[in-house]
Structure 1
């Protein structure tokens, strides 16, 4: 079987890769296990120097890496460069902070001495998606490597070129071999990797189905998992909000990465008193978005990452229109593109409200009260993030307290940040990435008690 990398803009084959055999995969796992035996004993300073060298080289080679992102999954090149720089940020963040996050924590007790120490556990297996092919990878390997673990990656098959470039980058920077390896394997081979005794934990960013399958397999093996799955984030705009700023941020929050983001705002709940004004501003902004070649700096909307996504997005739009939604602009497809679409009169009986819409669809639902906004926000299987817009920030905090998500941003778009814990509830997954809490997911929190003789 071959993994194919196809340019979504030209629809031409970039490259194809033979999948690894079970024998080759097992040999790689043996090599990575050997790497763990010495990597875990290195000082934080040596690990820090390595991560900083990766960050510096990644920054210097930004054009090479960002171009590969855009070629393989169609992200506008300006956004691809920002993704690379964000990857640099997470590398630097953990390089500079990991030692403090994992230092021994002393606990008052009746014993002579008692403390918690954080020990590395071994190989962390990352199963990562195509939509942020660099950020998602560095988001898991930066804390894992600084904690003393080693990493293997199964990337989405359509971004194998990105996966191999990341491996090459790390290999060139690291004086210690095999602390990170890419596995060119199919989804059907994942279970055997999880069951390998050398693998100690699994982290996945992907679909609800993929997450359930990985969790089930890891559960059989009694192995820790962290899952970041889908999202259908609410974006609530109340009558006292700064409408101009809210509209501008809403468009950015929805159309980042051509709408192909788990944490993108997807359900816009707009107060009746400012609904029409908000929609007019959003319409103007959407109509000015530049659709085009992802390798051009001015492009804001690129092709969808896979050709089959186009018909699925169109189905969601057309079914909503049949049920009463009104299409203000967009609602059409051409070649590898689905044009930025604005739907109003969306209600909770429509698929675009209930499903995770992975594409450039901006769906507006009119609300008449804060209570209705909270009810609609929570009427979702997902609970990744949310956004509330109001000039009364104290009221915003009260609303945030009632929204069932892993994060709520008041007067800003929901986003991931290395300094802040990131994770979801409900069917958006479990576990934490980023911040000091993320690095502690894949360590052994060991209690040590001393009684003096």
Structure 2
């Protein structure tokens, strides 16, 4: 795949970039390893000052980088601005709290005496150079939610970004340089997927994090496993959105529209499977389908556009295959189900709701990465939970109910890394983020995320 900016709203190639060759890769890795030897000794106060500067610069650059993101992957300009603002918030959050999150943990004095010692504690120390393999769908946020905690912990980062967002990737490397981080602390590698293995196997690289597809995750995990290196994987999701009789159905349906089409439907934590109790199914379906059908599809740079294009021609083809397979096997498109007739250029697809989906259809088990929802009717909570768990993924979930017993049941039984009641899934610096099953392992954000790439070191003193 070429490293290029191709506008998904028009299909036009705007810029191409020459990939980094072996010598440049070697120099970049060497600089990172050298930077870590010094950077790891800096104080939290020093790192915090650098991170705050980076946040201030990003805040000033918000409109500029938002336009780049929209041009490169098609999210609406409003969504791109919001993404940049979210990154600023996360950077400041970690700048303020990292020292406390990684403070030494004292071991109980009585337990130390039992071991024959006088005192002991756990110290969190940085691992070293961390390779980040990142996706195009949130090209700024996915990187910052790794980089902010990793850099605040004293690690350094190498970024291999998706090949269709090279300008965003280069911006990120330049951002941390402008903020004053030492040379090599954070660098962008313009390389293809084939070069990832060589970088990951390099003895100077300590660990890796990947957000992306399941095949990409399997590849990175297998290489890292062979090298006995730590990894964090955040992969796909097919999140359930359960609506039960005690829910505010109007609010649930309105939120469902946003939950499905956020980022043009290209989000691993977007709600994708809408599982509705039969008592409220018809009302929810009517409101939900009307909301999806009313969305404005068009130029993502235009204010007022609700849904832009999917990121690539292949991405739209993949989406069409899932919808066509489902309708050929008996599913019904309650709205959408085709390319918009008024958008002859670019890779647009109408917001779509499919009903009558059955387990023999691909979309029942595979992730639809675009503005396509599946709608199910269930007789009770047992059936809702069973259907919600009937997926190889387990990233997040949404449940609409005001019944405490139903909420406790869902917390106990839903197989997901997150459960959001009476609202839609969102990532936030204060809450750990990640999944189970084929959605990956490890956590980003919060204290869990900053500790993922730390050596939890036991320090013990004898008498």
**TM-score, normalising length: structure 1:** 0.98
Asked whether 1:174 is paired with 2:174, we answer no
Q: Which runs of 4+ in 1 moved over 4 A?
A: none
CA distance in 2, matches of 1:51, 1:89: 11
**Which residue in 1 is equivalent to 2:429?**
418
- How far does residue 241 in structure 1 lie from its aligned partner after superposition? 0.8
Counterparts of 1:396-407 in structure 2, within 5 Å, are: 396-407=407-418
Counterparts of 1:318-333 in structure 2, within 5 Å, are: 318-333=324-339
Provide the secondary structure at the position in 2 that maps to 1:273: helix
- How far does residue 101 in structure 1 lie from its aligned partner after superposition? 0.7
**Which residue in 2 is equivalent to 1:189?**
195
CA distance in 2, matches of 1:288, 1:342: 12
CA distance in 2, matches of 1:198, 1:176: 18
- How far does residue 388 in structure 1 lie from its aligned partner after superposition? 0.8
Aligned partners of 1:397 and 1:410 also within 8 Å: no
**Which residue in 2 is equivalent to 1:38?**
38
1:212-244 C-alpha deviation (Å, 9 max, x unpaired): 000010111110000000000000001111101
TM-align CA RMSD: 1.1
Provide the secondary structure at the position in 2 that maps to 1:296: coil
Provide the secondary structure at the position in 2 that maps to 1:338: coil
Asked whether 1:310 is paired with 2:310, we answer no
Q: Structure 1 unaligned segments of length 5 or more: list them.
A: none
Match of 1:367 among 378, 381, 388: 378
Asked whether 1:226 is paired with 2:265, we answer no
CA distance in 1, matches of 2:10, 2:328: 32
Aligned partners of 1:35 and 1:176 also within 8 Å: yes
Q: Structure 2 unaligned segments of length 5 or more: list them.
A: none
Aligned partners of 1:393 and 1:410 also within 8 Å: no
- Bigger mean CA deviation after superposition, 288-297 or 206-215: 288-297
**Which residue in 1 is equivalent to 2:274?**
268
Counterparts of 1:69-88 in structure 2, within 5 Å, are: 69-88=69-88
Aligned partners of 2:261 and 2:307 also within 8 Å: yes
**Which residue in 2 is equivalent to 1:351?**
362
**Which residue in 2 is equivalent to 1:215?**
221
CA distance in 1, matches of 2:452, 2:405: 32
1:421-441 C-alpha deviation (Å, 9 max, x unpaired): 111100000001110011001
**Which residue in 2 is equivalent to 1:16?**
16
CA distance in 2, matches of 1:310, 1:145: 36
Aligned partners of 1:259 and 1:360 also within 8 Å: yes
CA distance in 1, matches of 2:412, 2:284: 25
CA distance in 2, matches of 1:187, 1:23: 17
Provide the secondary structure at the position in 2 that maps to 1:337: coil
- How far does residue 451 in structure 1 lie from its aligned partner after superposition? 1.6
Aligned partners of 2:2 and 2:163 also within 8 Å: no
